[in-house]
Structure 1
């Protein structure tokens, strides 16, 4: 094939890969708006509701590292096709679940499948685009698609729920999966590491088990408070992860190359992959509840109010590679944290009497930082390593994203719940359950809504402070001059 044919095939291959990427990202947020409808249909307990929201992200986050190594050694296209098929089956099962337990089980299956898709999809870009400039453009489109998936999930869900039942938000995955399974064998070639060696089974098991048990312990403590059993489980997970980390420096084919973290740009970028997703997932979920349960906004209208922020986020993610080429990765990372902090601070102006304008402004300003963070983290992850290790590096970056998405609701959500219990009428653990109680006096309803807004403010303020602190640390450690130099010396700077 001539050069034009090869380039066209590469971009068509990217287009095919973006389908599963969009779905995996959307399914991390699509249930935020759907939870009231799911609650009415399946009547989950408060704990089951958290698991319905968290189980998908927990499964993805705990298995990304393991599947990143698998895709490097046994073939990325093979894992993509297998993962897409499982994702489709899990979506159908979840859409028709008749109990909270079944929905949680199928969401876990979708999470396992998603963990196979993300590292494989991002690693494929390194083989589709060998030219560094084209690869950076492709990664920017990939990052924009992933970011857009998180952002438009609630929007799509809101439009569907205004017309159809709650399972429709999951069935939209099926046609995209079918199209991918038809086109992927035609447009994507198989690639694996040239000298893969053996997969260290002990590392795979300990990384997945350690992450899962730590996340379970945090989630259990957030929902039910500290207990001896949850602390033992959490400490066991920490010990497993510690053993896993030490083992990676002693084996020939580690799942994670911890030497990458010696570079401050890479290290801060990985943290940047975690914190923005944690803040975004928590505030998106709480804001959806605020719009519907506090301000009384209809589902479809609440979804439309998220459009400006989603557009800003997506456009910024697309444009970030070009901006980074001028100002450098370091400056981009610093900008991301400060703009997110400013955007989150705007949520403090919301109240029980109104705040739609402040909500739109907050999502738009924070969307600038979110778009930058998604794009820069993905770029660094792939550029930092040789092609045969791209899957593992991509998995590390995406693990930060997914852990942020999962733990954001568990950690920040627990903060909001504590504030609600302290400031509210103390009749039920959540605003939704309180408002469903019979014969509530108007003063109690106002008290409950005010307590929820106080919880939203506490989360927004805490997340804004954390981003401000990380931005200040990034400014002190990285500076802007070093960032521009690292942008000019792309992979070499990261590997130093």
Structure 2
């Protein structure tokens, strides 16, 4: 089949309104990842969860999303992306109401898990539908930039939303804000969003879905445990188990006629480079964010709500990057835009290496704004390259892969680079605790800044002698983590620029002629029938 490169249909008002409908649940999903941070004290007083149950209440949502993304992306390709989106919206709305009125910690954990499962249906469906709705490459890049802007903004404003809700309502109201969004989605989607179902995809392999879940969940759990408690027998066993099942999963996919995850997709250099760059980019960013949020609260003495407000300038910087990057990539090669943005992020990380316990907020906020502006081209254009590089019938799976890379990158960053920073803290505090503080409190102070603050409250006479070196040690740990992140992103910037140099500016025709010939499924392992789009 021959197509003119200039014949791509441009999206009209209906598609852009549809994008707004898709952006709302994306914003909501990311808000739900952080909205409970401020609600946890009130929630704990009401439901009396154990410390372990508290962790599960916070973490199970992201665990379920990460574990089911690829499966739900593949399911959407098979049964219809709009259909799966509507099913997920209904489940998410119902689970939100049940979560809001939970009467026990166990009930809330179960409903948070159901919310995560529903969220896993929504995220790849929204991104894959954008691929169907925006055939013009420049419009699609802009649409994905807006989609990514909503997702990242939601994570930052989640604590703010939680704070506002708690000021006027009870903790359960934080869940109810999602209900009208899902009702709007269910009512408008049949009129604004096209349906897409890939042909001849075969049945969903349930064993592969279980194997993938049993691969991802232990790995994410192990990384989180490494970050909080260091190496332990259970976390190491979980990591080894997850990696082992993952290897068996890959072997099984290569032997299936209709795999859950097509390994041939990774042969595409654009897709593989974009996925790897996003993995390491999110890894660097999430590790430093962990330190920055604690710096706001434990060194500058801000409340969680105030800390959330001081994060807004960096969100604004990211928004600028998300909107500007697609326009730049229409004139400059995307690899160059991504590499240049990452170079800007290196400067932002460099600024964070100069912050100490007495620096105040100005330099930190400037560094965060520069970092946000620099990382956003990678997230926006990288996501577009992943989704666009895959054939249309695999777009749901490709979208899920890009989101899974972000989930794993976040966990990996906290576990590795976060641990590097905390190792610096422990090294600096090894001999800095006053001798008259009891052993248990001293050990806690040597482990974390939060432990040092707690010890200072218990022993006011030694407060300054303990807090001054503890805050200085924490700042040094943040400096080292930022320096390692800068070095990591510097390497990723060079590799992205080099490995993506073959990608021409978005919308620009290939060098050889204005026509391209679509290969059949037998000619190329990741190309094939473009599937069926049903426009209502």
TM-score between both structures, scaled by the size of structure 1:
0.87
Give the whole-Å Cα distance in 2 for the aligned partners of 1:42 and 1:455. 36
In structure 2, what is the equivalent of residue 107 of structure 1? 112
Aligned to 2:428: 423
What runs of 5+ residues in structure 2 fail to find an aligned partner? 1-8, 430-441, 511-515, 519-523, 528-536
CA deviations on 1:147-203 (whole Å, 9 max, x unpaired) are 322343344445555666655544432332232233223333432112221112222
The match for 1:461 is 483
Q: 1:432 to 1:274 in 2, by over 3 A?
A: same
Instruction: Return the offset for 1:42.
Output: 7.3
The C-alpha deviation readout for 1:346-376, integer Å capped at 9, x for no partner, is 1222222233112211111111122112211
Instruction: Give, in whole Å, the separation in 2 of the partners of 1:323 and 1:492.
Output: 28
C-alpha distance in structure 1 between counterparts of 2:295 and 2:44, whole Å: 16
Instruction: Tell me the residue number matched to 2:345.
Output: 340
* Match for residue 508 of structure 2 among 475, 485, 488: 488
Q: 1:451 aligns with which of 473, 487, 490?
A: 473
Q: State the number of aligned residues.
A: 491
1:331 touches 1:483 (CA, 8 Å); kept in 2?
A: no
Higher helix proportion, which one? 1
- Once the two structures are superposed, the pairs formed by residues 119-268 of structure 1 within 5 Å of their partners are 119-160=124-165, 167-268=172-273
- Answer with 1 or 2: which has the greater Rg: 2
Picking from 86, 93, 106, the partner of 1:88 is: 93
Distance 1:293 1:222, change over 3 A: closer
Q: Does 2:14 align with 1:17?
A: no
> Do the aligned partners of residues 135 and 5 (structure 1) sit closer, same or farther apart at CA in structure 2, a change above 3 Å counting?
closer
Partner of 2:458: 439
1:257-336 aligned within 5 A: 257-336=262-341
Q: Alpha-carbon deviation of 1:434? A: 4.2
Q: In the superposition, relative to structure 1, how do residues 203 and 100 fare at CA in structure 2: closer, same or farther (>3 Å)?
A: same
Counterparts of 2:132 and 2:422 in 1: how far apart (Å)?
A: 46
Q: 1:409 to 1:176 in 2, by over 3 A?
A: farther
Give, in angstroms, the shift of residue 5 of structure 1: 13
Distance 1:465 1:96 in 2: 47
Task: Give the deviation of 1:379 after TM superposition.
Answer: 0.9
Q: Tell me the distance in 2 between the aligned counterparts of 1:410 and 1:166.
A: 30
State the shift of 1:262 in Å: 3.0
Aligned-partner Cα distance in 2 for 1:107–1:412: 28
Compute the TM-score of the two structures, normalised by the length of structure 2. Answer: 0.81
Following superposition, the deviation at residue 309 of structure 1 comes to: 1.1
Question: Deviation digits for residues 69-95 of structure 1, max 9, x if unmatched?
Answer: 001001212211222233334444555
Relative to structure 1, is the Cα distance of residues 30 and 137 closer, same or farther in structure 2, using a 3 angstrom cutoff?
Answer: same
Match of 1:59 in 2: 64
Quick check: 1:344–1:366 contact (8 Å CA) kept in 2? yes
RMSD: 3.3
Cα distance in 2 for residues equivalent to 1:328 and 1:21: 28
Which of 358, 367, 375 aligns to 1:353? It is 358
Shift of 1:24: 1.7
1: CA distance, partners of 2:105 / 2:517? 49
